A = this chain, B = another copy of it.
């Protein structure tokens, strides 16, 4: 074969920027972004992105500069997903649920040239900047030096903002107005160039900055619009924050499909129902918590659903009970699994037609599995990390879920050690423990740290929590390992109860929960202790802080009689059905 070298006509860098350019040409007059009374078409959105990019250039933003933003799902944040990389820069969307301390940490680490701040978060950012200045001062450097290090702040006003919320001189719409509508984006020469920087919440450590390439973002986007069968012109409700892995890539994906972005500032029941019916929403993404918000809506907040809304959910396996309830309302749920490092969803529980014939409970169970790899992922596997061998497809042998493909992150920003630890032998290590079922579908059994080994049996907290959530009075549940004199570890449940609205007079105490678990679980899995809390401790993103609960549980002493009362069946299980491979795998993860 000849060499046949690449040329500009047949080798063009893959980038999501082609999606918005194409949308402006192909879907020029179609609505692109809707937010209350604000409406744009795709040709307008493209022009606004060009204007934004040219203004950023005039603000000293150059190739690979970081541009940070702290904003809810407003049109400006959507536009930045194209406008910022069109200026050659890297978009850093910050989680709005973080506190001023966290925000300061991210700014210190990412060193943005420009920092867009929605009016609602001006006070928080004012505090964050103070912390930043103080810390620079404390570092022995002069205040001037510190100030020069601060990003240029640009406030985002919108139709809901009170007048006069300012932080510095600049406002987003000014940049748009003064920008050049005919700005020609610098041509991307290398698709490996960075497009986005997303900090993981990092509940136990300093946040880590995950860097995406244009190539990775492009391929992930294609996979997701394909795997979810979005078709053309979907109407997409922004119930998932765009700051979560760039809205699981749907920021770019909706442009690729020529769809319409329905932006909402907060995913309240009222705003979701109103927008769903008013704009005939076809698709939305969310964590399972949103199902609760929709289910618990007051009658005056509800709207009759005229057609099915496709929902992609992830972040946690949706409990079966919740799945069934939300689908009755008119939402059709697809379950996906992903992480920031995988540019959002990496596995999707692709539905198989023959499952339609199963009973609702079996269907929910199948749906709660994490599923199969998205199309552009080169491979996914569950491996024993000691040997790097694949686990058998038996639905029970656990191992670590590992991924490879061009949509995996480039690495962690300024953190070569963490980057190198994340990869092993050509695989990205997710840190999640799972199994592979006979049909090739993966199911997560736990975050590595959440495996409880009790009497040689692996107990996964997720499984136990799933049962606890089916109890009518349980609002929140988390299970961690507690030291046990006989079994090494045993499960300890932390529970927050719902307020008793049903007028139910039954008392819910430890005995009731344990008895409920006995009815619904193998005995060895039943928690040996149940601790009630008003609310479980969580990160600003809503992840339960299990490491805190683990610390607490370490100090619990299992009453001697309970230790002795442990049913013999557990021992029997252990003696007669040891599963050495499982045990080794699980222990290697502890």
A residues in contact (CB < 8 Å) with B:
1-2, 4, 6-12, 14, 18-19, 21-22, 25-26, 28-29, 64, 66, 90, 192, 194, 211, 216, 219, 222, 225-226, 229, 231-233, 256, 350-351, 353, 372-373, 375-376, 378-379, 403-406, 408-411, 413-414, 416, 419, 423, 426-428, 439-440
Q: Is the CB of A2 within 8 A of B414?
A: yes
Known: A413-B1, A440-B26. A12 touches B378 (CB 8 A): yes
Further pairs besides A1-B211, A2-B211: 11, Cβ < 8 Å: A4-B211, A6-B192, A10-B410, A12-B379, A12-B406, A14-B219, A19-B375, A26-B373, A29-B439, A229-B231, A256-B375
CA distance A373 to B409 in the complex (A): 29
A409 to B12, CA, bound (A): 12
CA distance A11 to B403 in the complex (A): 12
Complex formed: what's the CA distance from A7 to B439 in Å?
30
Most chain B CB within a 10 A radius of its CB, from A1, A8, A216: A1
Query: Complex: how many Å from CA A226 to CA B233?
Result: 13
Given A233-B353, A411-B2, CB of A406 within 8 Å of CB of B11: yes
CA distance A182 to B427 in the complex (A): 21
Q: How far in angstroms is the closest Cβ of chain B from A409?
A: 6
- The answer for the CA separation of A456 and B339 in the assembled complex, in Å, is 63
Q: Once the chains bind, are A404 and B192 in contact (CB under 8 Å)? A: no
* Residues B226 and A423 in contact, CB atoms below 8 Å apart: no
When the two chains form their complex, are residues B372 and A1 in contact, meaning their CB atoms are under 8 A apart?
Answer: no
Least distance between A421 CB and chain B CB atoms (Å):
12
Distance to closest chain B CB from A153 (angstroms): 22
B4, B21, B216, B373: the one contacting A10 at CB < 8 Å is B216
Q: Which of chain B's residues have a CB closer than 8 A to the CB of A231?
A: 229
Q: List 23 A-B contacts (CB under 8 A).
A: A1-B194, A4-B194, A4-B211, A4-B419, A6-B192, A7-B426, A8-B404, A9-B427, A9-B428, A10-B409, A10-B423, A11-B406, A12-B379, A12-B406, A14-B219, A19-B375, A21-B379, A22-B372, A22-B373, A28-B439, A229-B229, A229-B231, A232-B351
- B residues in contact with A192, CB < 8 Å: 6, 11
Q: Give the chain B neighbours of A419 by CB distance below 8 A.
A: 4
Contacts of A256 in B (CB 8 A): 375
> Do residues B408 and A1 form an inter-chain contact, with CB atoms below 8 A?
no
Chain B nearest CB from A393 CB (Å) reads 9
- B4–A405 contact, CB under 8 A? no
Across the A-B interface, give the 10 residue pairs with the lowest CB-CB distance, nearest first.
A8-B426, A12-B378, A10-B408, A4-B410, A4-B411, A26-B372, A1-B64, A9-B428, A9-B423, A9-B404
Q: Is the CB of A22 within 8 A of B375?
A: yes
- By a CB distance below 8 angstroms, the chain B residues around A232 are 229, 350-351
A214 to chain B, nearest CB (A): 12
Residues of B close to A194: CB separation below 8 A = 1, 4
**Nearest CB in chain B: distance from A424 CB, A:** 8
In the complex the two chains form, what is the Cα distance from A219 to B225 in whole Å? Answer: 14
Q: Is B222's CB under 8 angstroms from A428's CB?
A: no
A350 partner residues in chain B, CB cutoff 8 A = 26, 232
Contacts of A19 in B (CB 8 A): 375
- Please give, as numbers and ranges, the residues of chain B lying within 8 Å of A378 by CB-CB distance: 12, 18
Residues from chain B with a CB closer than 8 A to the CB of A14 are 219, 406
**Please, how many angstroms separate the alpha-carbon atoms of A351 and B11 in the complex?**
29
Q: A6 contacts which chain B residues (CB < 8 A)?
A: 192, 410
**A418: shortest Cβ distance to chain B, in Å?**
12
Closest residue of chain B to A424 (Cβ to Cβ) is B9
Q: Could you say which residues of chain B place their CB within 8 Å of the CB of A403?
A: 9
Chain B residues with CB under 8 A of A226: 222, 225-226
